[in-house]
Structure 1
Amino acid sequence: MNAHKLSPIAANILSLLYEFVSATLFGGIHLFAWNSRFPTDTEKLLWRISALMAIGVPYLYIATHIPLIGSTVTDIRRRMKRTRNITLGYIAIFYTPCRLFLVAESFRSLYYLPSEAFEATPAVMSIPHLG
């Protein structure tokens, strides 16, 4: 057996781990803007909800998929079909719009930056071709 080839169960666990970590990091990074300035209070509230959802939904996903590790296809279909469908429904209804909002609002908020954000700093003035 090739030492670099993972068993199907190990590959499944590794895949779930990568999905979970990347999704949680995405939401966690956006939590740093919790107290940032937003154009409206509604956008600030939506940002906070979206960032929390971006962290919370991966936990739901992992909680419903950990029992599937090592199960056969027949077992999965019989035991977890409804739970999996509900989880995927939550992801489609809540998680995807939250991620889209965070990305879109990140770019949209650049338009509303205060004028001080566009001033050159003294450090930049000393770098050739930038100052």
Structure 2
Amino acid sequence: MASSLLARNVVRSAHALPTLRVLSTSSVLRKDFVQELYLKELKNYKAPLAAQDAHVSAVKPLVVPSAPTPPSFPSSSELASELKAYESSQPTLADAAPVSTSSSESAAGAQAFLQFLEQDLPKEEAHH
């Protein structure tokens, strides 16, 4: 008897599945009109056809540059003549900077500077 009662409960529970109810606060779904309009226009868009020779104005023709010419080196006779001309020329004194101080003044100034460096520094009291 217990087994038949158990069998009836299983059959009832299989037939009596809970039903789901969908609760909605609004009966009409609100659509996004901007999105709908955008999708409609996107589907209707046709890309303009490109002309067959459109690439001609965008691409320059290839022009291979001419081969560079090797540098020309002076001959040994030209080098010898330039070297002789350089050796025979006298240097100009206009390029040299004039020295305004005499050697005794600069030696005295250097000696004074060295004495200044050798002086003992005054001792400062520590501040606490």
Instruction: Give me the TM-score of the superposition, normalised by structure 1.
Output: 0.22
Q: Which has the higher contact order (CA 8 A, sep 6+)?
A: 1
Which one has the bigger helix percentage?
Answer: 1
Instruction: Give me the TM-score of the superposition, normalised by structure 2.
Output: 0.22
